[in-house]
Amino acid sequence: MGKPANKPRTAQGEAMSCLRNVRTSPRKLNLVAQMIRGQNVHKALLDLEFCPKRIAKAVSKALQSAIANAENNHNLDVDRLIVKSATVGRGLVMKRFHARAKGRAAPIEKPFSHLTIVVSERKE
């Protein structure tokens, strides 16, 4: 007599991957996530490969993880997968300071982000 099982966070025919505590601001990460929303996963991987943004490599790894989860854990067809959603959330913020003239200090905020990618099979 243990605890009841957790409800699945994804629907039937979907797989998910989370990338936590990415060292970039949510605003910059959302620009890259916006490129792949609603696309076929193979086209999304190609777009991320040639994206000039630094964070595109980490987003590509998260997308590959979601594809692997779909194939291995949910038995989904990789050729029919699309990126259903790519959501970006705000993580913690490191607060630092920068020494300025006359003994003053200026605050610096170093934000972190969370990325969740959900892939699903295309209906045909």
Q: How confident is the model at residue 78 (pLDDT cuts 50, 70, 90)?
A: very high
pLDDT over 90 at 1, yes or no: no
Which of 8-12, 38-42, 56-60, 61-65 comes out lowest in average pLDDT?
8-12
Query: pLDDT at residue 54 above 80?
Result: yes
Asked if the model's pLDDT at residue 60 lies above 80, the reply is: yes
| 43 close to 35: Cβ distance less than 8 angstroms | no
Tell me how far apart the alpha carbons of residues 84 and 122 are, in angstroms, rounded to a whole number.
Answer: 9
Query: Structural domain boundaries of the chain?
Result: 14-121
CATH code of the domain occupying 14-121: 3.90.470.10
Instruction: Dump pLDDT digits (tens) for 9-53.
Output: 888 889 999 999 999 999 999 999 999 999 999 999 999 999 999
Confidence of residue 83 (pLDDT cuts 50, 70, 90): very high
Please state, in angstroms and rounded to a whole number, the distance separating the CA atoms of residues 15 and 70.
5
* Confidence (pTM): 0.89
